[in-house]
Amino acid sequence: MSFLSSVPCAMADGDFYKLPDLPYDYGALEPSIDATTMQLHHDKHHATYVKKLNDALKEKKPRATNLADLQAEAMKLGSTVRNNGGGAYNHALFWRMMAPVGKGGEPSEALQKAINAVWGSKEGFQEAFSKAATAVFGSGWAWLIVKKGGLEITTTPNQDNNLMISGSGIPILGIDVWEHAYYLKYNNRRPDYVKEWWKVVNWSEVNNNYENYALKGIPVPA
């Protein structure tokens, strides 16, 4: 299945944004993430964010014509746009940030150098990131962001992301730690989910996010 990017605010059917297809089959990330969770997560949760965002934007007048740029306006446009606009954007990135086991590659030389500068090694980064993701209280996300040329690990509640706050950084890797992302397989064992998630990280996509967008100060498109 091909990944469809967000579309401009002038679709023939009146919607602002379109639910993207998954870039792989529902079961492609097993055993790390099961097919049922992927189907529900994409077809129900992500689809609902997109629908509610489209409904809300029929009354709002955003300046942005793409989902990435909308994030900077989301808080000003009210909680419905903030929550569902963030959910639509975060998940659009999330699917592409994962790939079947053994297909995700490794950090590029440039990204690995940046990781080493902060955490000493890829393993040191993964340990710090996993700790942050596991410690998120309730529902939210953990992110690797680019801020002023360097890398940082941050977390956001609910469906927020760093693009919503000016100068807060550009996300290049993120993990969804809402219960709907893992509960069917892992129940309350979030640390187990986070550990298995590393096996399906799509480093090729993260490299692209880092080198072609974030280092240039451009939000990663959805």
Residue 176 among known ligand-binding residues: yes
Two tokens at 39? 């189907």
Residue 45 among known ligand-binding residues: no
Residue 41 among known ligand-binding residues: yes
Residue 42 among known ligand-binding residues: no
Residue 78 neighbours by CB under 8 Å, 6+ apart: 56, 60
Residue 90 neighbours by CB under 8 Å, 6+ apart: 141, 159, 161, 174, 176
CA 47 from chain centre, in angstroms, equals 15
Q: Is 9 helix (H, G, I), strand (E, B) or coil?
A: coil
DSSP H/E element including 94? helix 79-96
Two tokens at 30? 């097993």
Q: Which residue has the tokens 């219960």?
A: 179
Q: In whole angstroms, what is the distance from residue 95 CA to residue 85 CA? A: 16
* Binding site per annotation, positions for Mn(2+): 41, 91, 176, 180
Positions at the binding site: 41, 91, 176, 180
